[in-house]
């Protein structure tokens, strides 16, 4: 087990409350709302819940990446390049929007579909690259297990397991489950910004050796980790499993100009992006005559 010499400390904590997004969908947004507009390089973190016919019909993106990680059910994705597929519970889609994509994300199963979507900013030199996808099924996601701890490695590496995902913005994305009594020491590159988002159970994070113990933190809380420590200490002192994601990334240190699904560096670039989208030019040419099958079927 790796040894963390100096743990990152929790510098901010808040509950991600439900809000409506898309068409009838509900998300718990923790990054990208008024309390936390941006956490370089992360733009948005949503824990989403959606049941048909609600969903995220045809919409554009430019200038960043979306990482969709399914927790329950399935979602079908379509875009104007002709790419179409379904990601199910445990599957991952890492989409680089680059210079432009228009797509839809709609429920593909009965009942409630749940998952996480993370938006990762791209540097100015990568914002106008061609769109691309990296998709991994649940069987292909690297896993590690040790001393009551299990990890699914979405990006980066942990417990001897390494993800095949290529990250243009250097990123780690780890899905941990700690059994009761388990203690975790997970290295984090010192230059990364990092956070924890709790999915199930409750745990103690970044506990310092002070005489007053830290209170446990429960599901749907986001914990921002501060300082320049080399890792995270976490433990499960409860009687039930604790599941959380640990995400970190290299800050870009660039100005951010955002208008909804468009993220650039200047307002002038945003204005040009809006013109490109409205005129179906410079990466959005195929948007002029495209509608997703889901949009046609549901009358969006």
Which tens digits make up the pLDDT trace of 94-129?
Answer: 999 999 999 999 999 889 999 999 999 999 999 999
Domains parsed from the chain with CATH numbers: 9-249 (2.60.120.10)
Phi, psi of 5 (to 5 degrees): -80, -35
Determine how many CB atoms are found less than 10 A away from the CB of residue 76.
19
**H or E stretch including 268?**
helix 267-279
Q: DSSP code of 63?
A: S
Which residue carries 């949009």 as its tokens?
A: 295
Considering the chain, what is the average pLDDT of its residues? 93
Q: 236, 190 in Cβ contact below 8 A?
A: no
Which tens digits make up the pLDDT trace of 80-98?
Answer: 999 999 999 999 999 999 9
Alpha-carbon span 251 to 205, nearest angstrom = 22
Alpha-carbon span 74 to 210, nearest angstrom = 44
Kind of pairing between the strands at 56-61 and 101-107: antiparallel
Put residue 87 in one of left, alpha, beta given phi > 0 → left and psi -120 to 50 → alpha: beta
Alpha-carbon span 291 to 300, nearest angstrom = 9
Split at pLDDT 50, 70, 90, the class of 72 is very high
Q: 43, 61 in Cβ contact below 8 A?
A: no
- Whole-structure pTM over 0.85, yes or no? yes
């Amino acid at each position: 087990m790796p040894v963390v010499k100096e743990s990152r400390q929790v510098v901010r904590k808040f509950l991600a409350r439900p809000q409506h997004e898309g068409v009838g969908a509900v998300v718990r947004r923790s990054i990208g709302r008024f309390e936390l507009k941006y956490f370089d390089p992360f733009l948005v973190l949503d824990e989403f819940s959606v049941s048909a016919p609600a969903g995220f019909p045809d919409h554009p993106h430019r200038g960043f990446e979306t990482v969709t990680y399914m927790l329950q059910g399935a979602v079908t994705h379509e875009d104007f390049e002709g790419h179409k597929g379904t990601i199910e519970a445990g599957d991952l889609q890492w989409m680089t929007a680059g210079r432009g994509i228009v797509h839809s994300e709609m429920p593909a199963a009965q009942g409630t579909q749940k998952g996480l979507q993370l938006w990762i900013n791209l540097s100015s030199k990568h914002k106008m690259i061609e769109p691309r996808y990296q998709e991994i099924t649940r069987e292909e996601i690297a896993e590690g297990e040790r001393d009551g701890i299990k990890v699914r490695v979405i990006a980066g590496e942990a417990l001897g397991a390494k993800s095949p995902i290529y990250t243009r913005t250097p990123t780690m994305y780890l899905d941990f489950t700690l059994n009761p009594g388990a203690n975790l020491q997970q290295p984090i590159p010192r230059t990364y910004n990092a956070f924890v988002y709790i999915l199930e159970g409750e745990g103690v994070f970044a506990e310092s050796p002070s005489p007053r113990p830290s209170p446990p933190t429960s599901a749907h809380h986001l914990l921002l980790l501060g300082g320049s420590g080399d890792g995270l200490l976490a433990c499960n002192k409860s009687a039930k499993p604790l599941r959380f994601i640990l995400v970190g990334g290299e800050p870009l240190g660039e100005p951010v100009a955002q208008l909804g699904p468009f993220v650039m560096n200047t307002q002038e670039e945003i204005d040009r992006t809006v013109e490109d989208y409205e005129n179906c030019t410079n990466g959005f040419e195929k948007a002029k005559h495209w509608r997703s099958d889901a949009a046609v079927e549901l009358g969006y």
